């Protein structure tokens, strides 16, 4: 018994165990039957849980959720989801700002491993390509525009391959200070992404098909609004 207690203490001290405490409620989860009933759908507020950022990384101001971008890490939804629709609106406040949302994640990030597993839906500000040229070559604009890729050992099959990632077929993102709208459809290991009203990217055969939704803090201020989750059968 003494040895077990000592092992638990060592794990806690080493940071492997991190308390994931509730932070705030923002956005809403709407049941599918409420939408199909023909009545005005009103959902339940989504509870967000701390994973490996800080409490002052995030603040709710009116109808917006503001992320400072520091430190790098994520928060997660209270519930796990398998088949669902995610509506999320976002805008960067800095040129070249970086962020994203993870779906089908275990939210297994900590101080040493800043990013969880899952499938990331990229949210990069358009100037990222100008600020990250290498040897005079700029990355493709499609890279910043809703790229989809597996993280933490999650394997996917890209619709529009850029190596192991899937890039968008058309640039529809807006720059800093302007709102972008993502519709993310996640069903049976397949994801389709609509950006500002048009489907432009997707992946299939994800090796992970259920988990938390995570919002990412990645070094730049980003605002979110109108987050809605509709769980599907």
Cβ atoms 218, 100 nearer than 8 A: yes
More confident residue, 69 or 233: 69
Q: Domain map of the chain by residue range?
A: 20-231
Q: Is the pLDDT of residue 40 over 80?
A: no
Q: Does residue 216 contact residue 119 with C-beta atoms inside 8 Å?
A: no
| Encoded tokens for 193 | 């992404």
Across the chain, mean pLDDT equals 90
Q: How confident is the model at residue 44 (pLDDT cuts 50, 70, 90)?
A: very high
At 37 the pLDDT is: 62
Residue 155, both tokens: 């394997």
What does the pLDDT average to over 9-28? 68
pLDDT digits (tens, 9 = 90+) for 144-158: 779 999 999 999 999
Q: Is the pLDDT of residue 198 over 70?
A: yes
Per-residue pLDDT band at 174 (split at 50, 70, 90): very high
* Cβ within 8 Å of residue 91, ≥6 positions away: 174, 176, 177, 178, 179, 180, 222, 223
Task: Quote the pLDDT of residue 136.
Answer: 85
In this model, does residue 168 exceed pLDDT 70? yes
Residue 38 in this model has a pLDDT that exceeds 70: no
The CA angle 69-59-232, to the nearest 5 degrees, is 90
Residue 58 has pLDDT above 50, yes or no: yes
Architecture of domain 20-231: Sandwich (2.60)
More confident residue, 129 or 7: 129
Give the pLDDT of residue 17: 43
- Per-residue pLDDT, averaged over 32-44, amounts to 74
Provide CB contacts within 8 A for 106, sequence distance 6+: 116, 117, 118, 152, 211, 212
Q: Tokens representing 214? A: 């995570």
Task: Assign 36 a pLDDT band (cuts: 50, 70, 90).
Answer: low
**Predicted model pTM:** 0.89
């Amino acid at each position: 018994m003494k040895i077990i207690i000592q092992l638990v203490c060592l794990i806690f001290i080493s940071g492997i165990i991190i308390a994931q405490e509730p932070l705030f409620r923002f956005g809403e989860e709407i049941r599918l039957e409420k939408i199909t009933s023909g009545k005005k759908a009103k959902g339940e507020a989504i509870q967000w849980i701390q994973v490996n950022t800080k409490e002052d990384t995030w603040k709710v101001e009116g109808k917006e959720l503001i992320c400072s971008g520091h430190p790098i890490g994520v928060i997660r939804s209270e519930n796990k989801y398998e088949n669902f629709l995610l509506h999320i609106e976002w805008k960067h406040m800095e040129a070249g700002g970086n962020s994203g949302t993870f779906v089908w994640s275990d939210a297994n990030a900590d101080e040493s491993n800043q990013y969880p597993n899952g499938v990331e839906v990229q949210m990069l500000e358009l100037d990222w390509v100008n600020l990250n040229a290498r040897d005079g070559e700029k990355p493709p604009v499609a890279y910043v525009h809703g790229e989809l890729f597996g993280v933490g050992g999650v394997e996917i099959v890209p619709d529009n391959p850029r190596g192991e990632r899937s890039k968008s077929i058309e640039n529809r993102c807006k720059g800093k200070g302007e709102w972008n709208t993502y519709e993310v459809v996640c069903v049976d290991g397949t994801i389709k992404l609509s950006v500002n009203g048009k489907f432009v990217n997707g992946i299939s055969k994800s090796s992970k098909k259920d988990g938390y939704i995570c919002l990412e803090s990645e070094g730049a201020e980003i605002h979110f609004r109108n987050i809605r989750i509709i769980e599907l059968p």
